[in-house]
Amino acid sequence: MSGILKKTIIILTSLFFISWLIATIISSFSQTSNYGNVALIPIKGMITSDGENIFSTATTSASSIVEKLDQIKKDKAINAVIFEINSPGGGPVASEEIAKAIEELNKTTVAWVREVAASGAYWVAAGTDKIFASRISILGSVGVLSSNLGFSEFLEEHNVSYNRLVAGEYKDLASPLKKMSEEEKNLLQEKIDLIHEYFLNEIIRLRNIDEILRKEIGSAMIYTGMESLELGLIDEIGTKKDVVEYLEEELNTTITIKSYEDKKSFLELLSGLFSSREFQIKSFLNEKNNVIST
């Protein structure tokens, strides 16, 4: 192959890549529609209070979602809201804030579960009027996690001391630098159990689930879409098309979807080009460390 041909191939390849990159960025910044009678709000990634997460660019900000719902509540042109959910959960307070805002919305609401609606994300889904999911979607995990790593033995083996200076007996209750006593474990477990009980009660109330299933659902087990349907955790097996058909029948009108997806930053777009952001089961089985989360 001649030098001129090699240069030509390199130039053409570079131009193709640049064109593709520009097209991707432009399409990512655009929304599905600026007008519509049904809002589409994505709930993707970890659910946090402000959307910040140093470990992942995919997060959902409870503050942002609640603000959007406040706008939609006042928008007479919007008759319903679809929540596209693909999330392993997140903070209990952030999840509750979204679920409460959905419950208080004066519109028809539907949760459309893609891959995952686990833990706090399922709490969000439970706040809607109707839940659709794939047969093989993963849902449930109605539990609370506050596990952490312990380095006390490692420090002792390497002759490193932990100089404990606290004001308040339990200030360093979950510190990974010291061994947790049985009393401390019991105290922390009590708090986790209280949060779990409230979380479970909310799911049972929102979904009107029989008390007989309390122990089953409260085990934090994960379920497929088909299993969830049998347990009453979802209402229908279906896709976005089925959600649209349901809303058109419910609202007795043809619907046009208006996307409320946040515009991505340039860095997020570049990150998305070189890494997969799809959720899999392991994304929530390997949940957050050293914080209480649903």
Strands 46-48 and 59-61: parallel
Q: What pairs with residue 60 in β-bridges?
A: 47
Nearest to 109 by CA among 86, 127, 85: 127
Asked if residue 89 lies in contact with residue 119, where contact means CB atoms within 8 angstroms, the answer is: yes
* Residues near 275 by beta carbon (within 8 Å), at least 6 away in sequence: none
| Residue 100 among the catalytic residues | no
| Residue 64 among the catalytic residues | no
Q: What secondary structure does DSSP assign to 158-198, as a single string?
A: TT-------SSTTTTTT-TTSPPPHHHHHHHHHHHHHHHHH
What the block records as the tokens of 290 is: 């050293």
What the block records as the tokens of 81 is: 């809201």
Q: How far is residue 81's CA from residue 25's CA, in Å, rounded to a whole number? A: 26
Asked if residue 143 lies in contact with residue 221, where contact means CB atoms within 8 angstroms, the answer is: no
What the block records as the tokens of 191 is: 């708090």
Among candidate residues 171, 185, 191, 263, the one labeled active-site is 171
Asked if residue 111 lies in contact with residue 139, where contact means CB atoms within 8 angstroms, the answer is: no
Asked if residue 232 lies in contact with residue 140, where contact means CB atoms within 8 angstroms, the answer is: no
Among candidate residues 119, 134, 141, 228, the one labeled active-site is 119
Residues annotated as catalytic (active site), given as ranges: 119, 171
